Structure 1
């Protein structure tokens, strides 16, 4: 896999699926997980956020917001993990991530929205660096913990009535694709005590044994620093 950010060219755009990713990005992890679940082969292009590669002119052509992930599929460019996942769901229906049942579909979209809108953006690297610069490292950690736990309380209450293997059933769905990286980041990066969240803990243990989850994990990516 190509692990360097290169200038966008017609040859790179003609590649079937290319994912611009950073190994520690939970948003990128969602997409890697989904691609693996759907059995889709893709070229990995690393964007090193710590070196500011997201601000390069080449990457700005892909996403003027300078965020990963970005997915190209032929001449199509899609940024934002939620948009990418919905595109993959429609274009590549194998291993569907959204249930046919309208209520379960709505629940999956609600869980995904909580993670992508009300939880993950509040502990983005840029946000945490800003808080640390203003009020210090301790407040940075407290900020992350407060908002992560608030989101987890909502998710726990939403999902505890589903006594099944994964978040909303016995098949991996969109909710799981969003939850898996988020829970891992909470545990590994922010040392969140998950004893308050038995439902989330249960489903995370189920994710950990899945080959699609393991191969999409940060430490297994070609740009990982471990």
Structure 2
């Protein structure tokens, strides 16, 4: 059987999502770091794998997959153990909408390359940028999760696609000292996830070293 290889960066939210999904699915993989601080993502080796010059890239089933949400969907469609999205269409749409609200709305605005460009890279200004836009996004996600929620997680009593996106986003929020007090539902779910090995093993502190 071919090795599963994840081209990864320890603090990348997108790579963090895929690490969680791989762990939830019980898929063993080998991580190959791509150092974003050194610009390795735009080097020829990474561009050959990922023309966008991003992480993650997942090599699995003799395929080279990019973009975290489609990667996670692929894993769910090809490996039915521990489903990450509900079977029922309405619930599935809800979970996907919550994941998209994080990965496609909050994350792009608060991506480090965007924040550095608009602030000139000053740490204090970048922090102000994050604390302006992350709370706005989390407030919406809090309401989306509360509506029609069942069980202890976003949907039911097991984590899935939405948690793969939520937990890295809350890690990033804490990194930038965002006040999470207004989001009790999100904090509760995050607390449940923190007790699970799949999330603990994917945490940046478990896979990287402080920059």
User: Taking structure 1 as the reference length, what is the TM-score of the superposition?
Assistant: 0.88
CA distance in 1, matches of 2:31, 2:86: 28
Gaps of 5+ in 2: none
Which stretches of structure 1, 4 residues or longer, exceed 4 Å deviation after superposition? none
1:98 aligns with 2:93: no
Equivalent residue for 1:145, pick from 116, 123, 131: 131
How much does 1:164 deviate? 2.5
Q: What is the 5 A alignment of 1:60-79? A: 60-79=47-66
CA distance in 2, matches of 1:128, 1:15: 38
1:204 aligns with 2:154: no
SS in 2 for 1:206: helix
* Deviation readout 1:107-143 (Å, 9 max, x if unpaired): 1100111111100111212112212317x44332222
How much does 1:91 deviate? 1.3
Q: What is the 5 A alignment of 1:1-226? A: 15-133=2-120, 136-161=122-147, 162=149, 164-187=151-174, 189-221=175-207, 223-225=208-210
How much does 1:163 deviate? 5.3
CA distance in 2, matches of 1:164, 1:86: 22
SS in 2 for 1:77: strand
Give the aligned partner of residue 4 of structure 1: none
* Structure 1 residues 217 and 49: alpha-carbon distance in aligned structure 2, compared to 1, 3 A threshold: same
How much does 1:16 deviate? 2.9
The aligned length equals: 210
Gaps of 5+ in 1: 1-13
SS in 2 for 1:168: coil
CA distance in 1, matches of 2:97, 2:162: 8
CA distance in 1, matches of 2:56, 2:189: 25
CA distance in 2, matches of 1:167, 1:194: 17
CA distance in 2, matches of 1:154, 1:18: 35
CA distance in 2, matches of 1:206, 1:55: 37
* 8 Å Cα contact 1:131-1:139 kept in structure 2: no
How much does 1:186 deviate? 0.7
User: Taking structure 2 as the reference length, what is the TM-score of the superposition?
Assistant: 0.94
